[in-house]
Structure 1
Amino acid sequence: MMKKKISLIFTAAGILWLSACTDLKEQVLDETLSTKVSDEDAANGLIAPVYALLPNLFQHTTYFALQEISTDEAILPYRGGTDWGDNGIYLALHAHNTTSTDPNVNNTWNTLVQSISRSITAITSFKTSTNPNASLYLAEARGMRAYYNMIALDMFGIVFIKEDPGAPSTIVRGDEAVKYIESELLAIEPQVQPKAVVGPGRLNQAAVWGLLSRLYLNAAVYRNIYGTQFDFKSDDMDKVIQYTDKIIASGQAKLSADYFAIFGNDNHTNEELIFAVDQRPDLNGHNRMAYFSISGDQFPLAAFPAANGTDGPGITSDFYQSWVQAYGTEDPTRDPRFYKQNMSIYSNKADTCINDADYKINRGILRGQQYGALRVNGAFVRCPDGKLKVGKLNYVTRNKANLAVDFTQNIDFTPEGSNYNSGYRVEKYEFSRVSDTGRNKGEADIVILRLADIYMMRAEAKLRKSNDAAGALADVNTVRAARTATTPPPALTSMTLDLLFRERGFEFYWEMLRRTDMIRFGKYEGKWTEKTNSDVHKRIFPIPQNAIDGASNLPGYLVQNTGY
């Protein structure tokens, strides 16, 4: 496919503007300044900013933190009493005590409203553009505005409606918000391109169908966010089935035989991806999803002795026990989604000298003693034959050489439970091969929608509409049976909403779906690890106080959510 250079122009402000952004039509982006651009470059420069902040939205301390650390799946204690304290924001997030001054809430909000604003700028310009791609880009910009609004509705309970860039947005909630997002996605559905044409990094036909499915599935929650129970309307469930059927029948995506390949460095071409944050190296992506959980003494790359983890969140003992309960006497590694071993030293402790090319960190949920490249004075230790020396890891970088990097099941806010080694860790996304710091140059696309979720949404709609357990079971088992790169998980023999919720946890852990799932399944007011708060008002987050203060010249315009 032809590769082009795109200069980014922030036309609304009348100035030249630089940004890291997603590529268009598999293009290589060249962020160079230019005072003269063609019509095509101007059009590309308008649509690029619409996607540009997706990597920021999907960083570890924005959308991920709010969607995962607030749930029974992930917890981030005050490590060793010195790291990840951050004025208690992660403790509060997990315990459902977040406030309107929380910086992660603020950063997520700002990224969303900026992205909506950029979408409106692009929409306004494309309406009068004569560029041949204008109608396509207009549809994408409208669709992305709807997508950002859907996240705002899910997280903050509000949607912004705005067509005139010079006028204030109209803020809507509940059913009116659902209808607006629905109308926007339906309007652009016939105009966007199939995934095969534009790739998973741009809004495509299957992605629109998937977003509609997700909207209809959660519509009952969005219409009555504080309800004691949700009314999953038959018409909504019919629409979930209708649009998931369209995706599956279209052949625009295929289930991946290798589960962890979905989250690998080369996943941009993985056929299971439907819509994703394009993070390949030329786009200056972030590697945060890979480094956030693992130890600061795990160095996954032979070429870069400064690239390591950070001892961030671990999975809760509650979530781990859901695996144990599912597999009984069998170890959870029976399920290929739980763990993938990449180095033989884990099963053969004598195998301590490894070629650089063969050195790879294990993937999935990491338990117990960890092995890896050994460092002395900032350099890797080598065997006499020049190979990388691998051995048991200790917390040398934390000045705790006597503390083994031995991940324990227990993790909480106590001194023992918040030690550096507490909690099983997650390495679901592959550590970027080119990340010299562990934080930068992400290669793996971050999943927004993939085909497994389409099957699971259809299964849920079948259960909620008519208690079609057989149909739901078939969909879930289709996903399980697809993972044939290793022995797939055994077929389930029955299906209920509780079993489906558990299965979604196994399939989508660490993928920023858990909070939304827990609310929809009526689990979010439960108790886990350090969380006992059962206030239904905590289902959505507070509107940042600085946003409310900034709108103070419009009395009643931006009202704080109940309970904050």
Structure 2
Amino acid sequence: MINRLYNILTTAVLLMVVAAGCTKKLDLTPTNDITADEVYKTPLGYKQALAKVYGAFALTGNTGGTGTPDISPEIISDEGNSDFLRLYWNLQELTTDEAAWTWPNDAGIQGLKEMSWSSDNAIVKGVYYRSMFQIAIANDFIRQSTPDKVSGRGITGNDAADIKKYHAEARFIRAYQYWVLMDLYANPPFADENTTIAVTVPDQIKRADLFKYIETELKAIEPDMAAPKANEYPRADQGAVWALLSRLYLNAKVYTGTERFTDAITYCNKIIGAGYTLNPKYRNLTVADNNLNTDENIFMIAYDAKYTQNWGGTTYLAHGPVGVPAATSGTSGSWTGLRHTQQFVALFPDPSGATDVRAQFYTPGQILEMKELYKQTDGYSSSKYRNLTHDGKPAPNADPNGNWADIDFPIFRLGEVYLTYAEAVLRNGTGGDATTALTYINALRKRAWDNKAGGEITAAQLNLNFILDERGRELYYEAQRRTDLVRFGKFTTDTYLWAWKGGAAAGKSVNDKYNVFPIPSIDLTSNPHLTQNTGY
């Protein structure tokens, strides 16, 4: 059940690490009166604590257990802006051709589209500390769920076996968040369950070393994870491990300087061989009952209008687009914020959606060209995220005021895996072939054309430029665009320009330092082990 994990969380009395705003406090000891032995004395206590680890993806605020006023005062003053997904999504999308935000006075917004951010940007700081917070609570769970700890508390048999799976899942979440930090910040501080609490100032880890750590962790936990599609929703399983490995290997040259495309294909094959299939309707992927899409979903952040009430997450993605009527978005109305550049719209030969149904643009009252960056009428809007069921009915846990969304967010789904397989084949990875790659791409295209004729491409059309464009069409607003553009060498260069890139209306190249974000200045001050990324 979609809300089960958060129901467990909200009824739990938990002991967890309280994150702080500087990395020297990445592993603080608790300061309340509840001890670890009380929290973890029963199997239910362990499951409640695991729910806290997962809940850090979607919950905000100090009482909700995932916020901290030290993250960034500008961000925490608006709890929605402290949600992991909203922060992460903004760095991955607002910096690219896919999205712009209307309101320049919102903390951290100015400088993202223009690629002129600094180490004091509120959103740059916010993602950094949110990821580290989830790592901190995962570390605590991991150290409390070792076999010695579990047996020492008298837990045995099936209960101990379940906790072994929980332990692996917490390691997966930690690995995912370290991947986020590696992708965005390259060389973050590092602490694991063995870091001495409240004593050790974390060392900085180099990007290539962090890549190896993530790879090793994922391979180590794979046998202990539930089989694909066999775990309680929305918990991670082997499919999630394989999906993160495939993404890790696809971007390996960026992270380490060494290509790993053959390994990317290997893990794509594992996922595809596990029985995942495309959902027949693209629209079903981002609606309020998309938790039912177990055919395509691999790992999701679950949002629920009853248990995850904040202004971030998919609430942001349903309300945010300019002009979309409440009856269409399934919300109380638009925040008149999110818009596409004309260059992104041009990826769709027919932006009406009459052919490629993925072109879910909302155009009434909008002009195509983004002549002004912060003008709400400039740029088409989007209706991709709708807080209605696949058949247009109210959301399962519909908020009567229309505020909160029930839409789950896809971190990994099969559509991405098909695209990864095809790209890795085109980049000369082995273990796959061009014919199969074309089959997978055309499966996406057939769905995009609602199984009507006209969408399929030929072998001659399948090239790397096509793949980048197809990833844009298939995965837009799913927080992947920046990573893709960096991998293709188009994020900072003049090989692809979009409106307001570099602060110019027509777009311009920027310094290559912007391929990664800076370490927040507060961490450089508080942790002498850290050095800033080159150029900042």
Q: Does the alignment reach a TM-score above 0.5?
A: yes
Which amino acid in structure 2 is aligned with residue 411 of structure 1?
A: M
Which amino acid in structure 2 is aligned with residue 264 of structure 1?
A: V
- Match status 1:283 vs 2:250: no
Q: Write out aligned runs for 1:207-222 (5 A).
A: 207-222=240-255
Q: Write out aligned runs for 1:465-504 (5 A).
A: 465=428, 469-482=434-447, 487=452, 490-493=455-458, 494-504=461-471
- Match status 1:105 vs 2:124: yes
* Number of the residue aligned with 1:259: 282
Q: Which has the larger radius of gyration?
A: 1
- Aligned-partner Cα distance in 1 for 2:530–2:105: 31
Greater than 6 Å deviation, 4+ residue runs: 1-4, 301-304
* Number of the residue aligned with 1:63: 88
- Aligned-partner Cα distance in 2 for 1:560–1:333: 48
Deviation at 1:537, TM superposition (A): 0.8
Q: 1:423 to 1:36 in 2, by over 3 A?
A: closer
* Number of the residue aligned with 1:540: 516
- Match status 1:158 vs 2:183: no
- Match status 1:410 vs 2:410: no
Q: 1:205 to 1:58 in 2, by over 3 A?
A: farther
**Aligned pair partner of 2:427 in 432, 445, 464:** 464
> Is this contact kept in 1: 2:265–2:429, CA < 8 A?
no
* Number of the residue aligned with 2:482: 515
- Match status 1:123 vs 2:136: no
- Aligned-partner Cα distance in 2 for 1:465–1:484: 29
Deviation at 1:549, TM superposition (A): 2.4
**Aligned pair partner of 1:39 in 14, 39, 42:** 42
* Number of the residue aligned with 1:333: 354
Deviations 1:219-275 (A, max 9, x none): 110124xxxxxx52xxx2121111111111111x22011101011110112021100
- Aligned-partner Cα distance in 2 for 1:317–1:469: 32
- Aligned-partner Cα distance in 1 for 2:534–2:402: 39
Which amino acid in structure 1 is aligned with residue 438 of structure 2?
A: L
Deviation at 1:174, TM superposition (A): 2.6
SS in 2 for 1:196: coil
Which amino acid in structure 2 is aligned with residue 86 of structure 1?
A: D
> Is this contact kept in 1: 2:182–2:210, CA < 8 A?
yes
Which amino acid in structure 1 is aligned with residue 517 of structure 2?
A: F
Q: 1:488 to 1:91 in 2, by over 3 A?
A: farther
Which amino acid in structure 2 is aligned with residue 501 of structure 1?
A: L
Q: 1:189 to 1:284 in 2, by over 3 A?
A: same
**Aligned pair partner of 2:256 in 223, 234, 252:** 223
Q: Write out aligned runs for 1:390-409 (5 A).
A: 406-409=365-368
Which amino acid in structure 1 is aligned with residue 377 of structure 2?
A: N
SS in 2 for 1:268: helix
**Aligned pair partner of 1:194 in 227, 235, 250:** 227
SS in 1 for 2:428: helix
Deviation at 1:473, TM superposition (A): 2.0
Deviation at 1:195, TM superposition (A): 3.9
SS in 2 for 1:10: coil
Percent same amino acid among aligned pairs? 27
* Number of the residue aligned with 2:78: none
* Number of the residue aligned with 1:348: none
* Number of the residue aligned with 1:420: 376
Q: 1:200 to 1:273 in 2, by over 3 A?
A: farther
Q: Which moved more, 1:534-543 or 1:43-52?
A: 43-52
SS in 2 for 1:447: strand
**Aligned pair partner of 1:446 in 409, 419, 423:** 409
- Aligned-partner Cα distance in 1 for 2:298–2:454: 23
Deviation at 1:36, TM superposition (A): 8.1
* Number of the residue aligned with 2:73: none
Deviations 1:469-511 (A, max 9, x none): 4443222112222457563761011210001101100000111
- Match status 1:7 vs 2:16: no
Deviation at 1:303, TM superposition (A): 9.5
> Is this contact kept in 1: 2:329–2:386, CA < 8 A?
no
* Number of the residue aligned with 2:106: 86
Deviation at 1:199, TM superposition (A): 4.1
**Aligned pair partner of 1:529 in 475, 487, 499:** 499
> Is this contact kept in 2: 1:7–1:41, CA < 8 A?
no
Which amino acid in structure 2 is aligned with residue 190 of structure 1?
A: P
Unaligned runs of 5+ in 1: 18-34, 225-230, 339-363, 370-405
Q: Which has the higher strand share?
A: 1
SS in 2 for 1:245: helix
Deviation at 1:113, TM superposition (A): 0.5
Q: 1:302 to 1:145 in 2, by over 3 A?
A: closer
Deviation at 1:200, TM superposition (A): 4.8
- Aligned-partner Cα distance in 1 for 2:249–2:269: 14
Q: 1:274 to 1:90 in 2, by over 3 A?
A: same
SS in 2 for 1:243: helix
- Aligned-partner Cα distance in 2 for 1:187–1:498: 35
* Number of the residue aligned with 2:322: 294
SS in 2 for 1:13: coil
* Number of the residue aligned with 2:207: 174
Q: How big is the alpha-carbon RMSD for the aligned residues of Structure 1 and Structure 2?
A: 2.8
Deviations 1:505-545 (A, max 9, x none): 00001110000000011111232111124211101111112
Q: 1:64 to 1:451 in 2, by over 3 A?
A: same
Q: Which moved more, 1:170-179 or 1:430-439?
A: 430-439
Deviation at 1:173, TM superposition (A): 1.6
Which amino acid in structure 2 is aligned with residue 542 of structure 1?
A: P
> Is this contact kept in 2: 1:313–1:425, CA < 8 A?
yes
- Aligned-partner Cα distance in 2 for 1:69–1:445: 21
Deviations 1:385-417 (A, max 9, x none): xxxxxxxxxxxxxxxxxxxxx1111214x3xx6
Q: 1:332 to 1:319 in 2, by over 3 A?
A: same
Q: State how many pairs are aligned.
A: 455
Using structure 1 for the length normalisation, give the TM-score. 0.75
- Aligned-partner Cα distance in 1 for 2:56–2:271: 27
- Match status 1:558 vs 2:534: no
> Is this contact kept in 2: 1:308–1:437, CA < 8 A?
no
* Number of the residue aligned with 1:272: 296
Q: Write out aligned runs for 1:360-399 (5 A).
A: 364-367=360-363, 369=364
- Aligned-partner Cα distance in 2 for 1:150–1:44: 25
Deviations 1:284-334 (A, max 9, x none): 255111111133x83338997xx211111201011111213xx5xx95531
* Number of the residue aligned with 1:140: 169
- Aligned-partner Cα distance in 2 for 1:116–1:36: 19
Deviation at 1:91, TM superposition (A): 3.7
Deviation at 1:423, TM superposition (A): 1.3
